Amino acid sequence: MNWFKRHLNWTFVLVGTGINIILFGIFMPFLINVEGDSLFYSPIATIYGILYYVAPMILGGWVLKQKGRSLWQLLWWFTGFGGIAILVLENKSEEWIQGTEMFNKLHDDLVSDSEKQDIRAELIKRGVLKSKEAK
């Protein structure tokens, strides 16, 4: 499991901010209209506006699918606090749930030491634990 899948909320914030900065940097020279006041009537401004909203929604859709959520949750985007709603949603992906259940078994007194070692090895293999945390 790579960093982006382990840290979905950070991925959403950092990549989303990067997308907006890149879009702003690419389109801003074209948006400045020195001759007139028709800033928002330019076709370049229309393309920028569409990309400004669509690119983060695509990223939000990817994050929702990684969290095991329905893409209908993207409708939160149109409420005004959509980005925050995506961050607050709990991760329900099967891999995440299995990892959480296995991690909880490490602290269960009813599980034998040999089972705990097997669980630690599986969590290290999945990338949930690092080898130094397993001890």
Q: Are residues 61 and 104 in the same domain?
A: no
Q: Are residues 68 and 99 in the same domain?
A: no
pLDDT at 134: 45
Task: Please answer whether residues 13 and 60 qualify as being in contact, where contact means their C-beta atoms are separated by less than 8 angstroms.
Answer: no
The pLDDT profile of the chain, 135 residues, written as one tens digit per residue, is 577 877 888 888 898 889 888 888 887 777 665 555 555 566 777 788 888 888 888 998 898 888 888 888 888 888 877 778 888 887 776 666 666 666 666 666 666 777 777 777 777 776 666 666 444
Cα–Cα distance for residue pair 52/80, rounded to 1 Å: 15
Q: Are residues 9 and 47 in the same domain?
A: yes
Q: Are residues 98 and 114 in the same domain?
A: yes
Using alpha carbons only, how large is the chain's radius of gyration in Å? 22
- Where do the H-state alpha helices sit in the chain? 3-6, 8-31, 43-66, 82-88, 94-105, 113-126
In a domain? residue 134 = no
Q: How many domains does the chain have?
A: 2
Task: Please answer whether residues 72 and 78 qualify as being in contact, where contact means their C-beta atoms are separated by less than 8 angstroms.
Answer: no
DSSP SS3 for 128: coil
101-110 b/e with 16+ CB inside 10 Å = b? ebeeeeeeee
Q: Are residues 99 and 82 in the same domain?
A: no
Which domain, by its residues, includes 12? 3-88
Q: Are residues 116 and 52 in the same domain?
A: no
pLDDT at 104: 65
